[in-house]
A = this chain, B = another copy of it.
Amino acid sequence: MDAYDPIEPDNPRSYGVFMALVVISQILGIICVILTGAWLGAYWGGFSWTDSRVIFNYHPLFMVLGLVFLYGDAILVYRVFRNYHKLPIKVLHAVLHILAFLFAVVAVKAVFEFHDSRRIPNLYSLHSWIGLVALVLFGVQWVSGLITFLVPQMPQSLRGAYLPVHVSFGSGLFVFIIGVCISGITEKNIFSQAYPSLETREVLGNALGVCLVCFGAVIYYLVTHPAYRRVELVPPERRALNQQ
């Protein structure tokens, strides 16, 4: 929100902290995925596409894997590989995002199949409303990014104007999706008969929520802190040639 003295990107201390945070983020992300699997696998009946009682369980698992872990890593690639050439990183960024989107689509399919087979109405909860909005926005953002940054004919001026919007929107949507997950875990926990007393299943759900928030916080910090911004390898006048 203000002018500041940027920390030198080549500063070894800054780089050490950065790498430590990247490692922490990856550990947190893997813990989130494993915790989701363990929570649903051991305490909510396991996973099966043929057993209508547990089809639902694929929903949180694929959402955490796709829209949290892969999305988080997709927005981190520009910072982790900030000294490399841009085009392969752009492609990696796009591929991780489309994988995240595909996992999310399967996750949505799981919840619709579960509801239909159990005659539960679809799209009644706030979680479903804002979750669907988030998924649509994610899709729009992906297509806009693909057209703007990977179609070689796009003028640099347009890319320059859209980039801050893309970055601001993308990192905001990421944090928002963590919030959508929190509302999903809240629903699942309340559907538990034990509530409001806390048993292992509910504590695990809450712990998963806390881990998701921690993962989101570390990723958000890494992608928004100006000290970890990408270093341009080529001067602006040669950038158009290099990026195609």
Interface residues of A (CB under 8 A from B): 1-7, 75, 78-79, 120-121, 124-127, 129-130, 133, 157, 160-161, 163-165, 167-169, 171-172, 175-176, 178-180, 182-183, 185-187, 189-191, 195-198, 202, 205-206, 209-210, 213, 216-217, 220-221, 223-227, 229-230, 232
Contacts and interface: CB of A to CB of B under 8 A. Distances in A.
Contact of A230 (B1, B169, B189, B229): B1
A124 B183 contact: no
A221 B176 CA distance: 13
B121 A230 contact: no
A224 B168 contact: yes
Nearest to A231: B3
B4 A129 contact: no
A177 to B, nearest CB: 9
B133 A221 contact: no
B195 A5 contact: no
A160 B220 contact: no
Given A179-B176, A182-B183, A197-B124, A2 B78 contact: yes
A192 to B, nearest CB: 11
Nearest to A77: B1
Given A79-B1, A129-B209, A225-B165, A179 B172 contact: no
A196 B1 contact: no
Contact of A164 (B191, B227, B232): B227
25 contacts: A1-B75, A1-B78, A1-B223, A1-B230, A2-B78, A2-B163, A4-B161, A4-B164, A124-B196, A124-B197, A125-B195, A125-B206, A126-B186, A126-B189, A127-B182, A129-B206, A130-B209, A130-B213, A164-B225, A171-B224, A172-B221, A179-B179, A179-B183, A183-B183, A183-B186
